[in-house]
Structure 1
């Protein structure tokens, strides 16, 4: 399968590592605006050594011309969280003849917050016979797709409650900044009020669950509060003092007219005990706990590549994970590294 990488930040590098280990994925190109990366061989950016590959370019227009004539290629897109910011990038990729699997959080369920833009993306992709899919671990799996799958063994569902607790102590600096680590509580409140801080995608997860279960949401509430350090900690951002923000607690609750509920609680803070917990209630009540929780970055990279492997059999247009079919691992004979596209015919690539 032919892929290009679009965005080589922390998540993009993780996606590169998964793709580079595969014997069945062919990395045709890579795009990133960072001048320090442009011109570098993608093999030098992967933790898995392999033969020389394509060079990183700054724009889609700089990709090899063979990409535009090759059927079935897919872009693995990992740049921004906001759909309005990444739509120009998605449009370029569609114009290049590529389907897209993106980690953009708002793309996981964009139909409520961006109804007109969602229609435009759907139409644009359909006209070109391509697919656009938003995925990830959260949103995209643990707080939406996984609870939806669990409802398959119920004959009636009245409520879903998902709790995810993530220790950000050793996570990448951008994530620590996103959850407010090191801020004063008053500054946290100011940034939260203007949407400049916090996890993007919690409401999208709630709406994706409702969409997948054919529930009509009657009301939805969102809340975000800082969590406060009670001891000194050393984190990637520096020293964290007692009284400073060490993370956040976010909550989204969606209700239907007939009283069904979707409750999502996300805690991302320093040295919290990690776990994912899903409780589904109806005629019965079942609780599933993943001790230690699913890893954020590596799981996002894996589900992105796994979805890309299956995108050829999906409908065209803008899809959510509710329409994408059962997400699952695709065996790729890991070990030797991604075969190179140079000097290979189309038949050999397949």
Structure 2
């Protein structure tokens, strides 16, 4: 097993900042970071992340310079699109550095981006490194967690996963991503160019592969949730008739029968937010997480908690279903911040 303590980061947005804090608390050493924001360049990484101390690491504009410092592992936290993230990830691979990325389309890229996935796998093996895409969704809630719950089952006939988020409690970029405040026409235009939640299909295909199911076809839907009355939110006010958010779903069919159903609802003012998994099988299992798992801190935790598994993994492109279930190694008792303060 490779042993690494020296980390570098690509992307210091809200999730990247949380990754910095959590990894620092877990006694990893940050030796480099890169970001495209000119306001962050040249500043100390601890300051940019909101830590109470400096880390002695200057935020760079050049990934090449960061990789020259020979990190043991790079955590990549920038965009959802694999096509956009691919050049940065491949640059790390060619430098001989393991990569953990929060790029949603990397969570299970073999269906929608098979050629990119094959190239990443080939180059990772050639350079003896491991590449993993992870996060809370995709990467855990709608794929790894339900797969884990099938462990005591003799048979699984159907899987339902529902994620319900009150978007009023989330940060502004998330509200923007789900179309809050747009007109219906603007919402439809945004969806037509790839808007909405990214990762639903990646989760569906990962679950199917994990259960050995061949998916014949998939049905998808995305619809806006319209304000029946004016809504005054924490960050945004939405007029009657405008969009509060969205409801998105994907169903996977095998031999003419629906086998997997994933449902994602996120809009301002959603009541009774929760995450719910129902396995119809022998036995039938139902899990409900009241309030739901907070997305940003959980994604940061999935990245940091996966470091040990990536270091122990064989070279190549891997997914969460290929690795042991990540664990929160280490105690919060002697750290600066708790898990939901990051």
Whole-angstrom CA distance in 2 between matches of 1:136 and 1:126: 23
Out of 55, 60, 65, the position equivalent to 2:63 is 60
Instruction: Report what 1:106 is aligned to.
Output: 105
Asked if 1:292 is matched to 2:291, the reply is yes
Contact 2:251 2:258 (8 Å CA) reproduced:
no
Whole-angstrom CA distance in 2 between matches of 1:52 and 1:252: 43
Asked if 1:218 is matched to 2:213, the reply is no
Q: Which runs of 5+ in 1 are unaligned?
A: 339-350
Question: So what's the TM-score if we normalise by structure 2?
Answer: 0.93
Q: Could you say what the CA RMSD is over the residues aligned between the two structures, in angstroms?
A: 1.8
Task: Give the CA deviation at 1:96.
Answer: 2.5
Count, aligned residues:
332
Task: Give the CA deviation at 1:284.
Answer: 3.2
Task: Give the CA deviation at 1:291.
Answer: 0.4
Task: Give the CA deviation at 1:318.
Answer: 0.5
Contact 2:47 2:54 (8 Å CA) reproduced:
no
Whole-angstrom CA distance in 1 between matches of 2:188 and 2:6: 45
Asked if 1:117 is matched to 2:107, the reply is no
Instruction: Report what 1:130 is aligned to.
Output: 129
Instruction: Report what 2:10 is aligned to.
Output: 6
Question: So what's the TM-score if we normalise by structure 1?
Answer: 0.91
SS of structure 1 residue aligned to 2:277: strand
SS of structure 1 residue aligned to 2:225: strand
Asked if 1:97 is matched to 2:96, the reply is yes
Whole-angstrom CA distance in 1 between matches of 2:307 and 2:317: 14
Instruction: Report what 2:257 is aligned to.
Output: 259
Instruction: Report what 1:343 is aligned to.
Output: none
Contact 2:67 2:95 (8 Å CA) reproduced:
no
Task: Give the CA deviation at 1:206.
Answer: 0.4
Task: Give the CA deviation at 1:170.
Answer: 3.1
Query: RCO (CA 8 Å, sep 6+): is it higher in 1 or 2?
Result: 1
Deviations 1:247-290 (A, max 9, x none): 00000000112735100000001121210000001233221100
Deviations 1:139-185 (A, max 9, x none): 11001110000000100101000000011113222111110000111
Deviations 1:207-263 (A, max 9, x none): 010011111111111100001123333336532122110000000000112735100
Contact 1:76 1:308 (8 Å CA) reproduced:
no
Instruction: Report what 1:188 is aligned to.
Output: 187
Whole-angstrom CA distance in 1 between matches of 2:55 and 2:134: 29
Instruction: Report what 1:19 is aligned to.
Output: 23
Whole-angstrom CA distance in 2 between matches of 1:334 and 1:119: 43
Contact 2:8 2:66 (8 Å CA) reproduced:
no
Whole-angstrom CA distance in 2 between matches of 1:107 and 1:160: 23
Task: Give the CA deviation at 1:325.
Answer: 1.6
Task: Give the CA deviation at 1:295.
Answer: 0.5
Instruction: Report what 1:239 is aligned to.
Output: 237
Whole-angstrom CA distance in 1 between matches of 2:64 and 2:336: 27
Whole-angstrom CA distance in 2 between matches of 1:174 and 1:247: 12
Deviant stretches of 4+, over 6 Å:
none
Task: Give the CA deviation at 1:190.
Answer: 2.4
